[in-house]
Amino acid sequence: MRKSGILMHISSLPSPWGIGTLGAESKKFIDFLAKSGQSYWQVLPVSPTGYGDSPYQSFSSYAGNPYFIDLDTLNEWGLLERCEYYEINWGNDHEHTDFGLLYENRFKVLRKAAKRLLQAESPEFNDFCSTSAFWLDDYALFMALKESYGGVSWNEWESALRFREECAINEARQRLSSEIDFYKVVQFLFFRQWNAFKGYAAEKGISIIGDIPIYVAPDSADVWSNPCLFMLDENLMPIDVAGCPPDAYTATGQLWGNPLYNWDEIKKDGYSWWISRIKHQFDLYDVLRIDHFRGLDEFYTIPFGSQTAEYGTWRKGPGMDLFYAIKNALGEKQIIAEDLGFLNDSVRKLLRDSGFPGMKVLQFAFDRREDSDYLPHNFPRNCVAYTSTHDNNTIVGWFNSAPTGDVKKAFDYLRIHEDESVAKAILCSLWGSVADLAIAPMQDLLELDESARMNTPSTLGGNWQWRMNPSTDLSDISAWLKHITELYGR
């Protein structure tokens, strides 16, 4: 069935508290989607942000982002007084997130809420700790230890804790018990609010599309608590790390630095770690996009310590063996494969065998030198078509900066007149395509330029900050979006 939706991360919602949250504005956005005839809201990973404030570099692939906990809701629950967060400086720019201010101030406020909840001795909290213990215990200890070490990476901790020696771990649990409880409360508050958010979306007929990074961050509870599942040496340092080889866009490739999976070890127990991770994602989302899908067919390995990604090698991944195991354990699940970038026949075969829809990004379609699989007349039905993604410029930004010949091809293909909206023409082209699902980032729906870009890959600083202006009037946009959705049968 033909459907459509909007991509906007939770952090990009309007909010007086420095970043978008799971509060009233999230419900207003769900109402906007429903009123506009949409079926999906796509978000980025909602796990805690780590290095570079990226949702793709998290301290845990299970935990929720503390910044998304809505403070007004905590006030309604009797866990905060208004004066405890109203008088704090969360930043003066309502269209960008100041992660520095959040880091300095948010946890001070959350500690007050956590103290009140712990004093109340909540049975609901105790149940959450029990059912989530399989990941929560290690995560809360990891974060408490990390704080006690001044925030440094776990591979800089003392040897006994790095290697998780039983006596050292038991001593740390006792010594840091109050901090461990704090981090558990924060997760309880996040998931309580998330479940209410997801329930409201379901009531309004909106399904949530989530995103799972294929790799986990090197400085994470995932690696610290499961070192045997990763390619680490005897000192628990990476042997090789993840990235992408040089291409037409990056002369030295992309050096991500994530530790690589030890697939032989992971396979020994039937991929239980991956199955658990995927199951948890479907507790959060209705549909899951797997980032860097091609890495499950073949993955690029770069020697640890390399300064660039130029001298790596390709190795075989688990392929369909992993997806058979996931299907046997969890049943049929709705998965989107992020299959962008260089694809060979082996990756294409994995995509066909899995049956998952791949991605088509219209912004990539207009290279004047060649025909493209990203042009709508070449789309298969089983795909998800995007105007752009979180890693691209906005549509307006692309038209402002792309080569003249590419822009001319886009104008010719889309039959755009000089005085017409290029963003709306792109949306109409996607909504009218044969793709089963069409998605547009909110920035493209708002016709924003490059200043609203979410992320520029391989750069550090200035990313992940965009927020929708709280004064934005969505009434006309909603009417137009509903019109084209009905017009093209979505």
Please indicate whether residue 418 is annotated as part of the active site: no
- The pLDDT score that the predictor gives to residue 369 is 72
Q: In sequence order, what are the beta bridge partners of 235?
A: none
75 has a pLDDT exceeding 80: yes
Please indicate whether residue 338 is annotated as part of the active site: yes
pLDDT bucket at 460, cuts 50 / 70 / 90: confident
The fold of 3-487 is TIM Barrel (3.20.20)
Strands laid side by side in the 40-42 sheet: 335-337, 287-290, 207-212, 40-42, 3-7, 437-441, 383-386, 358-361
193 has a pLDDT exceeding 80: yes
| Two tokens, residue 196 | 């209410």
pLDDT in tens, 289-300: 999 999 999 999
User: Which residues neighbour 316 within 8 Å (Cβ) at sequence distance 6 or greater?
Assistant: 297, 298
Residues 146, 143: Cα–Cα separation, whole Å: 5
**What is the DSSP code string of 215-267?**
S--SSSHHHHH-GGGB-B-TTS-BSEEEEE---SS-TT-EEEEEEPB-HHHHH
- The pLDDT score that the predictor gives to residue 226 is 97
pTM of the model: 0.96
pLDDT bucket at 269, cuts 50 / 70 / 90: very high
Residues 90, 294: Cα–Cα separation, whole Å: 40
**Active-site residue, from 391, 406, 447, 449:** 391
**Active-site residue, from 72, 179, 291, 444:** 291
Which is it for strands 313-316 and 298-303: parallel, antiparallel or unpaired?
A: antiparallel
- The pLDDT score that the predictor gives to residue 435 is 98
**Active-site residue, from 179, 338, 339, 436:** 338
368 has a pLDDT exceeding 90: no
Please indicate whether residue 166 is annotated as part of the active site: no
pLDDT bucket at 144, cuts 50 / 70 / 90: very high
- The pLDDT score that the predictor gives to residue 412 is 92
Residues 476, 35: Cα–Cα separation, whole Å: 11
pLDDT in tens, 311-323: 999 999 999 999 9
pLDDT in tens, 111-136: 999 999 999 989 999 999 999 999 99
What's the rounded mean pLDDT across residues 404-425? 90
pLDDT bucket at 47, cuts 50 / 70 / 90: very high
418 has a pLDDT exceeding 80: no
